[in-house]
Structure 1
Amino acid sequence: MTDVAETADTSDNTGPADDRGHPVTSFVTSMSRALDRLADVSGWTMTPGEQRHALVELRRQRARLEELELRVLVAADRNDIGAESGATSTAAWLADATGSTRVACFRDVHLAHALDEEFEATRAALAAGEIDVPRAVVVVSSVRRLSDEHDDLPPGTNAKAEAHLLSQARRLDVARVRRLGKRLYEVVCPAAADADEGRILAAEEDRARRLAYVTLRDNGDGTVDGRFRLPTLHADLLRKALDALTAPRRLRAGPVDATAGGVRRPSASFLRGQGLMELLERHLDLTTMPGQGGSPFTVVVTMELDALQSGLGVAAVDTGCRISAGETRRLACRAGIIPMVLDGDSVPLDLGRERRLFSKHQRIALAQQYDGCAATNCDRPPAWTEVHHLDPWSAGGRTDLHRGLPLCPAHHRMADHPDRWDMRRMPDGGVRFSRRT
Structure 2
Amino acid sequence: MAGLGQHQVDRGIAALDEVLTGLGEVSLLGMDQDATGVSLVALARLEARVAELKHRVLAHGTEVAVEQTCGATTTATWFAHATRTTVRASRRAAFFAEALRRYEVLRAGMAAGGVNLEQGEVIARALDALPADVATWVRVEAEQTLVDLAARHDAQHLRVLGERILHVVAPEVGEAHEAKQLADAEAAAEKATTLSLTPDGTGKVHGRFTIPELHAGMLRKFLMSLVVDAGRGARSASDEPSDPGATGALDDSTEPSSHQPQPEPQRRATSHELGQAFCDLLERLDGSGLPETAGTGATVVVTMTLETLTGGLAAATLDTGDRIAAHTARRLACEAGIIPVVLGGRRQVLDQGRRRRRFTRAQRIALVVRDQGCTAVGCRTAAWFCHAHHDDPWARGGPTDLTNGRLLCPAHHRRIHDPAYDHHTTPDNQVEFTRRT
* TM-score normalised by the chain length of structure 1: 0.71
Corresponding residue number in structure 1 for 2:185: 201
Corresponding residue number in structure 2 for 1:156: 137
Shift of 1:324: 4.8
Corresponding residue number in structure 2 for 1:89: none
3-state SS of 1:302 partner: strand
Alpha-carbon contact 1:386-1:409 (below 8 Å) kept:
yes
Match of residue 57, structure 1, among 34, 42, 58: 42
Match of residue 171, structure 1, among 152, 155, 159: 152
Alpha-carbon contact 1:67-1:126 (below 8 Å) kept:
yes
After TM superposition, list the pairs within 5 Å mapping 1:132-151 onto structure 2.
Answer: 132=116, 135-136=119-120, 139-140=123-124, 142-143=126-127, 145-146=128-129, 150-151=131-132
Q: Distance in 1 between matches of 2:346 and 2:54?
A: 95
Corresponding residue number in structure 1 for 2:251: none
- After superposition, what is the alpha-carbon deviation per residue over 1:69-99, rounded to whole angstroms, capped at 9, x for unaligned? 999x79x99xx9x9xxx9xxxxx9xx99xx9
What is the aligned residue count? Answer: 389
The 3 A distance-change label for structure 1 pair 204 and 394 is same
After TM superposition, list the pairs within 5 Å mapping 1:313-352 onto structure 2.
Answer: 313-317=313-317, 318-352=319-353
**Amino acid in the other structure paired with 1:278:** D
Alpha-carbon contact 1:213-1:230 (below 8 Å) kept:
no
Shift of 1:402: 0.5
Alpha-carbon contact 1:251-1:258 (below 8 Å) kept:
no
Corresponding residue number in structure 2 for 1:253: 233
Q: Distance in 1 between matches of 2:373 and 2:282?
A: 23
The 4+ residue runs of structure 1 with deviation greater than 6 A are 24-40, 65-71, 99-115
Corresponding residue number in structure 2 for 1:212: 195
Shift of 1:166: 0.5
**Amino acid in the other structure paired with 1:353:** R
3-state SS of 1:253 partner: coil
Shift of 1:244: 2.5
Corresponding residue number in structure 2 for 1:3: none
- Among all aligned residue pairs of Structure 1 and Structure 2, give the percentage whose two residues are the same amino acid: 35
3-state SS of 1:432 partner: strand
The 3 A distance-change label for structure 1 pair 157 and 396 is same
Corresponding residue number in structure 2 for 1:274: 276
Structure 1: tracts of 5 or more residues without a match: 1-8, 17-23, 87-91
* TM-score normalised by the chain length of structure 2: 0.71
**Amino acid in the other structure paired with 1:273:** G
The 3 A distance-change label for structure 1 pair 112 and 414 is closer
The 3 A distance-change label for structure 1 pair 126 and 296 is closer
Corresponding residue number in structure 2 for 1:378: 379
Corresponding residue number in structure 1 for 2:208: 228
Corresponding residue number in structure 1 for 2:31: 46
After TM superposition, list the pairs within 5 Å mapping 1:91-130 onto structure 2.
Answer: 119-130=103-114
Q: Distance in 1 between matches of 2:398 and 2:384?
A: 24
Shift of 1:241: 2.6
- Greater CA drift, 36-45 or 390-399: 36-45
Alpha-carbon contact 2:295-2:365 (below 8 Å) kept:
no
- After superposition, what is the alpha-carbon deviation per residue over 1:235-285, rounded to whole angstroms, capped at 9, x for unaligned? 4543443333223x74242123424xxx6768723223322332223x212
The 3 A distance-change label for structure 1 pair 62 and 374 is closer
3-state SS of 1:191 partner: helix
The 3 A distance-change label for structure 1 pair 426 and 192 is same
The 3 A distance-change label for structure 1 pair 278 and 118 is closer
Asked if 1:407 corresponds to 2:387, the answer is no
**Amino acid in the other structure paired with 1:275:** A
3-state SS of 1:399 partner: coil
Corresponding residue number in structure 1 for 2:255: none
Q: Distance in 1 between matches of 2:195 and 2:427?
A: 41
3-state SS of 1:341 partner: strand
3-state SS of 2:200 partner: strand
Structure 2: tracts of 5 or more residues without a match: 70-74, 247-269
- After superposition, what is the alpha-carbon deviation per residue over 1:22-47, rounded to whole angstroms, capped at 9, x for unaligned? xx999999999988987775321222
Q: Distance in 2 between matches of 1:109 and 1:355?
A: 78
Corresponding residue number in structure 2 for 1:420: 420
Superposition RMSD on alpha carbons, in Å? 4.5
Alpha-carbon contact 1:256-1:278 (below 8 Å) kept:
no
Larger Rg: 1
- Greater CA drift, 364-373 or 238-247: 238-247
